[in-house]
Structure 1
Amino acid sequence: MSDLLAIVLPTFGLIGLGYGAAQLRLMGERAGDGLSDYVFLLAIPALIFRTLSTGGAVEQNPWGYWVAYFAGVAVVWTLGALCARRLFGRDRREAAIHGFASGQSNTVLVGVPLILQAYGATGATPLFLLLAIHLPIMMTVVTLQIETAGSERRGLAVAGRLARTILTHPIVVALAAGLAAQTAGYQPSGALKAIVDQLAATASPCALVAMGLALKRYGMRGDVKPVLVISGLKLVVHPLIVWLLAVHALPVPPVWAGVAVLFAAMPSGVNAYLVAARYKVGEKTSSAAVAVSTALSVVTVSFWLWVLGVV
C-alpha cells in the first residue's frame, strides 16, 4: 500500500493542487494556458530529448507491443463511435469525437509523469517510443474521419495542414532530435546540459498542476451517459484489452507490457476537447469526458498498478 501511495499521491496530489488553486481563484485561466504552453513547448520536449539523447540504443522493439496497444485503441474507438451513433443519435462527425476521446490517452500531462514514477528509467524507452507514433496516428485518424464526414472534401488541403501540424509539434520535434542525438552519440554538456536538465526537472510537476487547472475550466457536467461510456471505455476496456494481449497473448517484455497497459489506462486526453473545439462539434461531451475520466482514474490507475505488480 505504501508503494501504491508513493506513486499515486504525488501524481494526483499535484493535479488536486492545481484544481484547488483554480477553485480558490489563486490561478486563473491565463495562468493555466501559460503553464500548459510551457509544458508542451519547453519542459516535456526537454525531458524527452534528455532521456533519449543520454540513453543507449534501443536493443528491442517487440512487435507485440505495438499490436497490443493499437488493437486496444481500435476496439474502444470503434465502440465509442458506435455508441454515439446507435445509442445517443449523434452524427458521424461527433461520433468521431466520441471514438477519439475513448482511445486518446492523456500522455503528456498525466501519462509521462505517472509512468516514469512507476517504472523509472527502464520505462522511458518504451514510453517515448509509443509517444512518438501515438500523436501522429491518433490525430491523423480523427482529422480524416471528421473532414470526410463533412459535405466538403478538401483532401490535399487537409493533408497539408495535418502534416504541418504533426511535423512542427514540439513533442515530435523533441523525439526526432533526441533519436538523432542518440544515433550520433551526442550528449549535451556544459551550459546546454544545465538548461535541458533544469527544464526537464520541471516537466512532471508543471504538467500535473496544469492538468488540475484545466479540469476546473472543463468542468464535470456534460452528457452524463455518453461521458460515462467514454470514461468506461478509456479507463477499463482499453487497458484490459492491452493487458490481455501484452501480458498473456503476445511476446512483450514485462516492462514494455506494463508501460503499454498504463499508457492505455490514462484518462481521456485534452486533445479530444481541443479537436472538438476546433471543429465546433462534441465540445460539451469531450470536455466533460476529460474531467470525469481524470477524476475516476485515481481509482482505476491504482487498480492497474496493483494488477501489474508495480506496487
Structure 2
Amino acid sequence: MTALTLVVPIFGLVVIGWFAAITGLLSERVSEGLSEYVFAIAVPALIVATLTRPGMSGEIAWGYWFSYFGGAAIAWGAGSLIGIRREGVERRGAILHGFAASQSNTIFVGVPMILQAYGEAGAFPLFMLLAVHLPLMMGAATFLIESDGERSLVQRLKGLGLVLVKNPIFLALAFGMALKIAGVAPAGMAKALVDDLGGTASTCALIALGAGLTRYRVLHDLPGASVIAALKLGLHPFAVWVLAFHVFTMPPAYAGVAVLFAAMPVGINAYLLAARYRTEQGLVAASVLVSTLAAAVTTIGWLLVLGKS
C-alpha cells in the first residue's frame, strides 16, 4: 500500500460528499442527519467492536502521552501567541486560535486514516489516545476560556462532566473498556449488529465531512485560516514526530499513530467551541475548510515520512 493509494480513496469520499451537497443530491438536512448518525451510532459501535475484539491489548508508555500532548501544547502555544498579536483578537479568541491549531479531526478523518495505515497494530494506541484526547483537550480549552469568568471551579468541573456524559464517543469508550476489563465481548446477533454498524463508520464519516464543508466560508479570513492550518498540519505533527521518534521510546506503530493523529486537519470541536462562545467563528470555520483541503496533500507527506510508501 502506497501513501497515494491510501489517501486518494479517503479524500475521494470527502470530495464525493462535497459534490453531492453542492449539486443537491444531499440536502443540508440529510447531511446533518448523516453526521449525527456517524457521531452518535456508527463510530461508537466501531469503538465497542474494536475494543472488545480478541487480542486487542497493549501497554501505553508515558512517552506516548508526552509525545502527542507535548506536540499539541507546542502548537496550541504558538497559535495563541499569534492570535494575541493579531489586531482585534480578544483573549478568548487567542485561546481558540491555539485550540484550533492543536485539535485534530479524529472521528471524521483520523479513525479511518489511521486504521487503514496501521491496521490491528495501530487500533489499541489509536483508541486509547482518542479516549484521553477528547476530555483533556476540551476540558483545557473550556477552563482557559472561562478562567476569568464568574463560574467557580466546582461549576466548571460539573459542566465539563455533563458534556462528557452526554458525548456518545466518550460513553462508547467507557463502555468498551468496561467490557474489555470484564472479559465480555458481544457474540451472536449482538456482535453482528455492532459489526455492521461499525462497518459503516468510515464511509459515512467521510461523506458527511465532505457535505459539511459547504457550510464554511474560506474567504472570511483566508490569511488567518492558512496560518492555523499550517500550524495544525505542519508544526503539530512535526513536534510529535520529534518527540515520538527522537526523544521517547515506543513501538513504531505507536509513534506512527501519534504523528498521524496530529497530522489530521482542524477538528469540528474547535468550531463548536467558537460558536458556543461567539468569538472567531468565521476564522475557525475557515481553518476547518482550509486544513481539510490541504490535508489531502500534507497527509501523503507524513505517510512518506513514516515509511508508509
TM-score with structure 2 setting the length: 0.97
Q: Tell me how far 1:159 sits from its aligned partner.
A: 2.1
Q: Secondary structure at the match of 2:60?
A: coil
Partner of 1:16: 15
Match of 2:127 in 1: 128
Q: Tell me which amino acid in the other structure corresponds to 1:193.
A: K
**1:158 Cα deviation (Å)?**
2.6
- For residues 226 and 56 of structure 2, the distance between their equivalents in structure 1, rounded to whole angstroms, comes to 42
1:166 to 161, 164, 167: 164
- Name the residue aligned to 2:306: 308
How far apart, CA to CA, are the structure 2 residues paired with 1:262 and 1:25? 33
**Offset at 1:89?**
4.0
Structure 2 residue aligned with 1:186: 184
Q: Give the whole-Å Cα distance in 2 for the aligned partners of 1:57 and 1:49.
A: 11
Report the more deviating stretch, 157-166 or 122-131. 157-166
Provide the residue aligned with 1:274 in structure 2. Answer: 272
How far apart are residue 71 of structure 1 and its match?
0.5
Does the 8 Å CA contact 1:47/1:199 hold for their aligned counterparts?
yes
> Paired residue for 1:118?
117
SS in 2 for 1:54: coil
Which of 220, 225, 237 is equivalent to 2:235? 237
| 2:46 alignment counterpart | 47
Question: Of the candidates 283, 288, 291, which is equivalent to residue 290 of structure 1?
Answer: 288
Counterpart code for 1:7: L
- Which amino acid in the other structure matches residue 3 of structure 1? T
In the TM superposition, 1:26-175 aligns within 5 A as: 26-56=25-55, 58-150=57-149, 152-175=150-173
Structure 1 unaligned blocks of 5 or more: none
Per the TM alignment, residue 115 of structure 1 is displaced from its structure 2 partner at its CA by 0.5
Give how far 1:252 is off: 1.5
Partner AA of 2:89 in structure 1: R
Question: Are 2:58 and 2:124, in contact at CA under 8 Å, matched by a contact in 1?
Answer: no
- TM-score, length-scaled by structure 1: 0.96
Shift of 1:155: 3.5
CA RMSD in angstroms, aligned pairs only: 1.3
Per the TM alignment, residue 137 of structure 1 is displaced from its structure 2 partner at its CA by 0.5
Instruction: Please give the alpha-carbon distance, in whole angstroms, between the structure 2 residues aligned to 1:221 and 1:256.
Output: 37
Preserved CA contact (<8 Å) 1:45 1:170:
yes
Shifted more, 296-305 versus 50-59: the winner is 50-59
Distance (Å, rounded) in 2 between the aligned partners of 1:157 and 1:184: 33
Say if 1:92 and 1:149, in contact at 8 Å, map to a contact too.
Answer: no
CA displacement, residues 267-308 of structure 1 (integer Å, 9 cap, x when unaligned): 000011011111111100010000000000011100000000
Identity among equivalent pairs (%): 50
Residue 231 of structure 1 aligns to which amino acid in structure 2?
A
Distance in structure 2 (CA, Å) of the matches to 1:186 and 1:219: 47
**Aligned amino acid, residue 291 of structure 2:** S
d(CA) in 1 for partners of 2:28, 2:283: 20
CA distance in 1, matches of 2:306, 2:201: 25
Unaligned stretches of 5+ in structure 2? none
